[in-house]
Structure 1
Amino acid sequence: MPIPRRVRSFHGPHTTCLHAACGYNNFDVYIKTRWLYGFIRFLLYFSCSLFTAALWGALAALFCLQYLGVRVLLRFQRKLSVLLLLLGRRRVDFRLVNELLVYGIHVTMLLVGGLGWCFMVFVDM
């Protein structure tokens, strides 16, 4: 049974790539694909470093706000405790709030340190 000509001339899925490479010098195709690869890699690294820097900056600002907030809250707690003692009332227990704030600051500090390291890795690349 004879095989039709269209089927016999089909070389596989890379035929169009091979025919496209025959039109140019192979080195030109290599240079163009290398340039495109380099440009895509640059876009990836640049966008990742911008995202990491923005996230790191936001976390650093959050850490500063938490630090200042703790100082203000501790001052408020002291004044409230003194006021309640002067009024003859029981003082309020702020232990849980203080622990949650300290844990929050620890987590933020770890994230700032880790993302700062990631930022430096992307800058070094």
Structure 2
Amino acid sequence: MPVIPIPRRVRSFHGPHTTCLHSACGPVRTTHLVRTKYNSFDIYLKSRWMYGFIRFLLYFSCSLFTSILWVALFILFCLQYLGFRIFLRFQYKLVILLFLLGRRRMDFSLLNELLINCIHVTMLLVGGLGWCFMVFVDM
């Protein structure tokens, strides 16, 4: 297949709509640039600074909110764990007391399973929020 020589000016690629823009603008000599007191680079820097600041505020507020939730869930998990240990001791003493009094034993199995499932869900939330918090800190 023969190679057709293409002039250098046509070979440089400026984008798919370059020819449309050139034809819409007309001749270069007739278009006058409007002078403003702002340089386009200054506007770019200001918008870039504002974008960076808004991004920082978003990440910082998300990480702060996530860390507060993480601490609250961690405290809730510790309270549930200690409360469950105290509740199990209470059950043990209550069962022994009822046995000594000759009464029927109470069944706490459903309540125990419910409390263990609540502790398990809280533990999963603590792990997940800790991961989210570390993702926001890493950003």
TM-score class, shorter-chain normalisation, is 0.7 to 0.9
Deviation at residue 23 of structure 1 after TM alignment: 3.3
3-state SS of the aligned residue for 1:23? coil
Which residue in 2 is equivalent to 1:110? 124
User: Any unmatched runs of 5+ in structure 2?
Assistant: 1-33
Write out aligned runs for 1:1-125 (5 A): 22-125=36-139
Code of the residue aligned with 2:79 in structure 1: it is L
Question: Is the radius of gyration larger for structure 1 or structure 2?
Answer: 2
Deviation at residue 109 of structure 1 after TM alignment: 0.5
Deviation at residue 83 of structure 1 after TM alignment: 0.2
Kindly report the root-mean-square deviation, in angstroms, between the aligned alpha carbons of the 2 structures: 1.3
Code of the residue aligned with 2:114 in structure 1: it is L
Code of the residue aligned with 1:51 in structure 2: it is F
Code of the residue aligned with 1:111 in structure 2: it is L
Hey, which of these two has a bigger chunk of helix by percent?
Answer: 1
Code of the residue aligned with 2:50 in structure 1: it is L
User: Any unmatched runs of 5+ in structure 1?
Assistant: 1-18
TM-score, scaled relative to structure 1? 0.82
TM-score, scaled relative to structure 2? 0.74
Deviation at residue 22 of structure 1 after TM alignment: 3.8
Q: How many residues align?
A: 106
- Percent identity, aligned pairs only? 75
**Counterparts of 1:87 and 1:29, CA distance in 2:** 85
Offset from partner CA, 1:37-62 (integer Å, 9 cap, x none)? 00000000000000000000000000
3-state SS of the aligned residue for 2:104? coil
Offset from partner CA, 1:72-118 (integer Å, 9 cap, x none)? 00000000000000000001100111000000011000000000000
**Counterparts of 1:122 and 1:48, CA distance in 2:** 7
